[in-house]
Amino acid sequence: MERTILHCDMNNFYASVECMLDMSLKGKAVAVGGDVENRHGIILAKNYEAKKYGVQTGEALWQARQKCRNLVIVPPHYEQYIKYSKLARQIYAEYTDLVEPYGMDECWLDVSGSIGIYGDGEKIANKIRERMKFELGLTISAGVSFNKIFAKLGSDMKKPDAVTVISKDSFREQIWQLPASDLLGVGRATQKVLTLYGIKTIGDLANASPDLIERRLGKCGLMCIRYAKGEDISRVMPTDFEPPVKSVGHGITAKQDLENPAEVWNIMLSLTQDIGHKLRVYGKRAGGVQIDIRNNQLRHKQWQCRLSNRTNSSAIIAKTAFELFVKNYKWEYPIRSVTVRAINLHSAIEAEQLDFFGNAEETAKRERLETAIEKIRDRFGKHSIQPATLYRDIKMPNDREVELTMPTGLII
Amino acid sequence: MAESVKYRKVYVGVELSVSPQGDVRPRTIIFEDGNKYQIDRLRQKCRAHATKVGGTGIRYTVIICNKETYLYEDDGRWFVEAKDIGG
Ligand SMILES: [Mg+2]
């Protein structure tokens, strides 16, 4: 039986969410920038208006500002991206239980079983596209085809807010003239080899000699040929959404060198406030803590240890980080920068083997307290409540969007 | 003359009733200044983008004093799209 597969891609996801939340950004060139107050901040995402000026993901903020004087750069709001990614998936789930996320803003849907109820693939794609706009204020581009590879290709062909159908009868005319590198699976290295043999388009690839391709590119090469011919048979695998976060870390370079343990403690305490918040947002608990200390000779040292009970508590992570520091740092030089990371992350709901010596009760109590603090911050702002010592000048760089460890594997 | 009206998101208090089946119905809107407005009728409920002020939520189309307006619930907080006077 011929399958009907959709690939839905939320357009300019981060930037679109920002513009949807703040209507005053409408019509302006907008970019999401990491670490906005820092010279080394980069563009994480941009909207179409910013694209027109040539603003690129990954470039330095100052470069982007040079290209586009009126560029509005906003800091990222990951908790919102996660929220809207989940809401989008709830919509998809109404049409099929076969939903496979690909990064935060893309999903494959196998709707073969739903056609009797909702109409053909194009109809379903358009329904989803309209709902996404009406319910979430976000646009998607969707590809509809009989395999995952072509569905993905289709979602890239018309953007934003559009549907492209690639059918079994017409795919040769529709896509064989496109560059081979448009196909998922044909990476830069593969493309280089293909070019050597004059293989430029998807059609060239489909008609290439399998022997030659296998000799030069192995099994992957043969797979690419199958893709080009529309013979991909991989299934849409329903997976539970888990932002693939491996660690959450924050680091800063101090305004002036840190000279004693008390100053290091203040910085660590401050850094871990954000770490605890992020862990809660991602629904994770840390099983260990890692610190990275750079002295004013710019030499790095890194240490890590396990936590006896997994936690998302800022205070416990701070305390552990500080103990690790006191135990290991020899104070040959003052300190220039400090990074604290929560590592060995586990889903917050995962069962845990409790350590006989750990104090699980104390940890749970501490977490409840911090959940209450979170609620206050939610309502009255991040700085409405914090450890008293942090209200003083603690050599923290001003108005920081601290160097945020990007959750790995997120597609912008 | 098409004068553009500005809107802003105003968070409000809401009195709710909950049926034994768990259906939630907003009954009264309470503004920060203490003004209360009775919701006379509930016309529709759906998830929607608040096109005038940004954001999204569960949108209730409600009738208050013969006027139709939207009331949104988002992550446990409620808001309306208020006309910005003197903005
Ligand atoms: Mg996208």
DSSP string of A190-252, one letter each residue: HHHHHHHTT--BHHHHHTS-HHHHHHHHHHHHHHHHHHHTT-----------------EEEEE
Contacting residues of A for B54, CB less than 8 Å apart: 20-23, 137
In the stretch 65-124 of chain A, residues with CB closer than 8 A to chain B read: 87
Residue (of A402, A120, A82, A141) closest to A274 by Cα position: A402
Nearest to A233 by CA among A349, A167, A146: A146
Ligand 1 centre distance from Cα of residue A24 (Å): 22
| Domains contained in chain A, number | 3
**A130 touching B, CB under 8 A?**
no
Min distance A89 CA to chain B CA atoms (Å): 14
Identify whether A356 is part of a domain.
Answer: yes
Count CA atoms closer than 13 A to B10's CA, side-chain side. 18
- Decide if A225 contacts A206 (C-beta within 8 A): yes
Tokens of A77: 């709001």
| Minimal Cβ distance to A20: which of B46, B47, B54 | B54
Same domain, A255 and A373: yes
Residue A396 lies in a domain: no
- Supply the CATH number for residue A57's domain: 3.30.70.270
pLDDT tens, residue order, chain A (412 aa):
899 999 999 999 999 999 999 999 999 999 999 876 666 788 999 999 999 999 999 899 999 999 999 999 999 898 899 999 999 999 999 999 999 998 889 999 999 999 999 999 999 999 999 999 999 999 999 999 999 999 999 999 999 999 999 999 999 999 999 999 999 989 888 999 999 999 999 999 999 999 999 999 999 899 999 999 999 999 998 866 455 567 888 888 888 899 999 999 999 999 998 899 888 887 889 999 999 999 888 888 999 999 988 999 999 999 999 999 999 999 999 999 899 999 988 877 666 666 555 678 888 888 888 888 888 887 777 778 888 878 777 887 754 433 333 343 332 2
How much is the pLDDT for A409? 35
Domain that holds residue A213: 176-228
For B13, the enclosing helix (H) or strand (E) is strand B7-18
Query: In A309-359, which residue ranges form alpha helices assigned H by DSSP?
Result: 314-328
Among A49, A100, A106, A370, which one carries the catalytic annotation? A106
Q: What is the pLDDT of residue A359?
A: 75
Whole-angstrom distance, CA of residue A3 vs CA of residue A109? 11
Look at phi and psi of residue A26 and say left if phi exceeds 0, alpha if psi is from -120 to 50, else beta.
beta
B56 and A20 within 8 Å at the Cβ level: the answer is: yes
How many angstroms separate the CA atoms of A21 and A87, rounded? 15
Note the pLDDT of residue A403: 38
Return the H-helix or E-strand segment holding A50: helix A48-52
Report d(CA B24, CA B17) in Å as an integer: 6
Locate A262 and state its tokens.
């008390």
Whether A404 maps to a domain, the answer reads no
| Chain A hits for B55, Cβ within 8 Å | 20-21, 137
Distances (CA, A) of A151 to A4, A133, A144, A200: 9, 21, 5, 21
Of A112, A144, A166, the residue that ends a domain is A166
Q: Provide the token pair at B58.
A: 């569960």
Is A142 in the same domain as A206? Answer: no
A28 touching B (Cβ < 8 Å) = no
Is A28:A46 a contact under the CB 8 Å cutoff? no
Q: Is A122 a catalytic residue?
A: no
Alpha carbon of A31 to ligand 1 centroid (Å): 14
B47: nearest CA partner in chain A: A135
With tokens 């605890």, the residue in question is: A276
Supply the CATH number for residue A212's domain. 1.10.150.20
A209 plus A75 within the same structural domain: no
User: Torsion angle of alpha carbons A281, A403, A42, A66, nearest 10°?
Assistant: 120
Domain match, A216 and A351 both: no
Beta bridge partners of A252: A338
Residue A222 and residue A288 share a domain: no
Higher pLDDT, B48 or A361: B48
- CB contacts of B49 in chain A (<8 Å) are 20, 133-137
* Confidence at residue A37, expressed as pLDDT on a 0 to 100 scale: 64
CB-CB: which of A22, A23, A135 is closest to B56? Answer: A135
Q: Which residues of A touch B46 (CB under 8 A)?
A: 135
Coil, helix or strand at residue A288: strand
pTM: 0.68
What is the percent of chain B where pLDDT is above 70? 93
Q: Are residues A341 and A270 in the same domain?
A: yes
- DSSP class of A406: P
Write out chain A residues lying below 8 Å of B53, CB-based.
23
Residue A105 CA to ligand 1 center (angstroms) comes to 5
The tokens of A237 are what?
Answer: 């695998």
